[in-house]
């Protein structure tokens, strides 16, 4: 009986070996060179142009490199928040990753990966996130996860549309 009552708290560390993170991945093909496509996607000040959850970004323009920090106001899954970001990695044309947290127990990692495919780029966006509070973990299971998944899928379509618009003039003059 005592063994069945033992409870171990879930880890809240993003780098923990036992993960409780929600993970979603979306992929899309975009016309354009992977270096240029990833540079556009990792220019965080442009996120509000193509990501429906991103309301405002305060950061440097241009693709951000490892160690860069920025702030973002979001509305994801119907929930408003403010994220504090730090870029983990930037390998031009291949991979960009950053982690964020808010002041209410949300932590997340977003990773963009690019691969050349024919004349274009295969773009993969992976989002991993978790809430530290039990109420938000339950809300995520019941409601937020589906909404965030739909928003993420919509962001890929908008990214392709906006990236191709932005990159077309550059490609036409080259």
Tens digit of each residue's pLDDT, the chain (174 residues): 444 444 444 444 444 434 479 999 999 999 999 999 999 999 999 999 999 999 999 999 999 999 999 999 999 877 899 999 999 999 999 999 999 999 889 999 999 999 999 989 999 999 999 999 999 999 999 989 999 999 999 999 999 999 988 877 544 443
The domain made up of 23-173 is a member of CATH 3.30.530.20: yes
Geometric angle at alpha carbon 34, from 33 and 37, rounded to 5° = 85
Give this prediction's pTM: 0.83
């Amino acid at each position: 009986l005592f063994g069945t009552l033992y409870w171990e708290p879930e880890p809240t560390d993003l780098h923990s070996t036992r993960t409780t993170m929600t993970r979603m991945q979306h992929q899309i093909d975009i016309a354009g060179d992977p270096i240029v496509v990833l540079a556009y996607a990792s220019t965080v000040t442009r996120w509000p142009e193509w990501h429906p959850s991103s309301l405002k970004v305060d950061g440097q323009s241009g693709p951000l490199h490892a160690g860069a920090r920025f702030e973002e106001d979001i509305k994801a899954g119907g929930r408003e928040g403010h994220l504090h970001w730090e870029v983990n990695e930037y390998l031009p044309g291949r991979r960009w990753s950053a982690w964020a947290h808010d002041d209410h127990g949300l932590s997340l990692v977003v990773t963009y990966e690019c691969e050349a495919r024919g004349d274009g780029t295969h773009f993969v966006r992976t989002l991993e996130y978790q809430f530290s509070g039990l109420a938000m973990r339950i809300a995520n299971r019941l409601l937020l996860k589906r909404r965030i998944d739909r928003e993420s899928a919509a962001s890929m379509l908008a990214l392709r549309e906006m990236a191709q618009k932005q990159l077309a003039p550059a490609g036409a003059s080259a």
